[in-house]
Structure 1
Amino acid sequence: MTGKPFKVQAVAKMLGTTVDSVRRMVVDAGIDVARQEHGPKTRLFSAENVFDLARYRSTKKAGTKGRSRKQVVATIYAPKGGVGKTTIAGNLACRFSLRGLKILIVDLDFQGNLTMMYGFETEMTPEEAVAAGLSRSQIVESHFGSLTPNWPYGRRTLADVVKKPFGENGPHLVPADLTLDRLDTLLTFETFEGKNSEFTIARMLRDGMAGKDPFFDIRTYDIILFDAAPAKSRLTRGAILASDYVISPVSMEKFSTKALSYLSSVLTEMQEQVERSPELVIVGNFFDAGRVRTMGQLMTITQTYNDAWLDHTIRRSEDFPKALNADSDLPLVLAKPNSPSTAELTAVADALLARLGVANG
């Protein structure tokens, strides 16, 4: 993914440090940063440069002892659409990476909204890409289904499938397109055949984390995030069963008691049926403390799901659609590092890292 380059002040804001510190890190890390061609030789940082600096700082802070590793799997899921789930997922992955963490985010929605948010074409064939002047790396030819052990169309390795829109140290993406729907069909057929398909993803993650599956080696990642479709499916259920946490955004403008109640019942049923259920974390989106309705909904949620409620929220802002429609097509936390919404996303990301028990670089 390309985008408008950043000046050093914006980089310092994204990394939560000073301009002088950024300049020192560039020299210490030996990172090659372009300079403005005309006028003052101002450094112009790419998104890749920024994530490289974040990783360098994190690694240096860990020192020779190394980072205390705790791999975490989380699914970002809401039973109904329109709550800002994918926008939050894409921005959180970037914020986690800006803390120096290695992130793998998996688009499990065959509509591919997260994949498009990260700048990839989900509907073009290779021939159409060539005709449009695009490289094959900009289109989607494989997805999470291609990584599963029994994929009938030829299994591929993670290295073949993964996209790196912001370079090696930014979030890595397993993309999605319409053909991902075939995986849900495959899981359904396997269930009819008496196979325990609901644990397919959990087994993949277990073997991948242990380095036992050369096709799906995920040992280097700190967090694996699934962005699941709103609809209930075998694919979504499998991701939730494989997760340590379910992060559920709720719209404080159009809060649905039924939606949260449904999700809570699903997690309870999982615990009863298979003795496994991820921890629920609720994130309030479109929050407006000045609206009586919002505050009433807040009271309802905190009374019923107090342990799950995250004490940081995100307000409605025009910055989100503006960032998505901008020429750079960057997630908001990169497109507008000085935005109040970015500050809120940063606070939510840090609070989530604390809840997930992951070292905040």
Structure 2
Amino acid sequence: MTSGPKVITIANQKGGVGKTTTAINLATALAAIGERVLVIDVDPQGNASTGLGIERDNRTVSAYEILLGEAPVSEAAIATAVPGLSIVPSTMDLLGIEMEIATASDRVFRLRNALSQPDTRRFTYVIIDCPPSLNLLTLNAMAAAHSVLVPLQCEFFALEGLSQLLKTVEQIRGSVNPGLAIQGIVLTMYDGRNNLANQVVDDVRAYMGDAVYNTVIPRNVRLSEAPSYGKPAILYDLQCAGSQAYLNLASEVIQRERGAKAA
């Protein structure tokens, strides 16, 4: 896409690493500092939709209809309680999307095509929340994105999972999206009292260098509680350590964007 919003896919094939928490709270933080943000939930579990307060009964037009080509983004996007933040919700129908579009020649480009339409230009950022697998939904997200942001849990097998994901990004670059970049790696669920967590942080920084954000997202009860209230943590408890970390991350994301444009 030559114009329109910056599209960032949040991806990791491992579950439970903080993908959806990062999608929700990074999007909210970007909106809080004046960006116009759209979250696209392509995870059939729909946790990003629930975490932003969208009831299942209100998801009448969703990512499913967009991927089928039955509705434009503007018809599916729902305004959230956060000013400047909208979401294209997910439904369980997405579980069947692979079979429905498997034989289509543009099956990997359905989301990219939808985001290239003029109705998306009112947004400055699009954040795509992926399922915890490298399936056709994740491939659509990567084909549509300018960059991939990788949440990485501070635990023993973190680097092993990261190397698999980086190989996938290379494959996507070599086939369907040559311009796909690594937006950055954000370390999540960090507990400073844990020696292993500190070792993981050191190892990932040594392995990936400047690709790793300075901001580290801590283990935080308020981050875990917020989705059950249908709110991002930044609305639920602005002062908690998790909310403050995501505000810092949003600032880093924007600073990197400005640095990339200036380079």
CA deviation map 1:262-306 (0-9, x unaligned): 001111122233461522211001113332211221222122211
Give the structure 2 partner of residue 173 of structure 1: 87
- Give the TM-score normalised by the residue count of structure 1: 0.66
Distance 2:257 2:132 in 1: 22
Distance 1:357 1:262 in 2: 29
Give the structure 1 partner of residue 44 of structure 2: 110
Cα offset, 1:72, TM superposition? 0.5
**Alignment of structure 1 residues 141-290 onto 2, 5 Å:** 141-148=60-67, 150-151=68-69, 155-166=70-81, 169-190=83-104, 195-206=105-116, 208=117, 211=118, 217-274=119-176, 276-280=178-182, 281-290=184-193
Computing the radius of gyration from Cα coordinates, the structure with the larger value is 1
Of all paired residues, the percent bearing the same amino acid is 23
Q: 1:140 aligns with which of 32, 37, 59?
A: 59
Distance 1:347 1:253 in 2: 22
Distance 1:355 1:308 in 2: 10
Give the structure 1 partner of residue 11 of structure 2: 77
Give the structure 1 partner of residue 28 of structure 2: 94
**Alignment of structure 1 residues 301-340 onto 2, 5 Å:** 301-326=204-229, 329-340=230-241
- Give the TM-score normalised by the residue count of structure 2: 0.89
The one-letter amino acid paired with 1:198 is V
The one-letter amino acid paired with 1:244 is H
Distance 1:239 1:358, change over 3 A: farther
Distance 1:256 1:340, change over 3 A: closer
User: Between Structure 1 and Structure 2, how many residues are aligned?
Assistant: 257
CA deviation map 1:227-246 (0-9, x unaligned): 01111111211211221111
Distance 1:231 1:335 in 2: 29
Distance 1:324 1:112 in 2: 12
Distance 1:72 1:275, change over 3 A: closer
CA deviation map 1:48-79 (0-9, x unaligned): xxxxxxxxxxxxxxxxxxxxx97311001111
Higher relative contact order (CA 8 A, sep 6+): 2
Distance 1:325 1:201, change over 3 A: closer
Moved more, 177-186 or 347-356: 177-186
1:343 aligns with 2:244: yes
The structure carrying a bigger strand percent of its residues is 2
Distance 1:332 1:272 in 2: 37
The one-letter amino acid paired with 1:144 is A
Distance 1:356 1:70, change over 3 A: farther
CA deviation map 1:108-147 (0-9, x unaligned): 001111111112232x5xxxxxxxxxxxxxx212212312
Q: Which runs of 5+ in 1 are unaligned?
A: 1-68, 125-138, 212-216
The one-letter amino acid paired with 1:199 is F
Distance 1:235 1:324, change over 3 A: closer
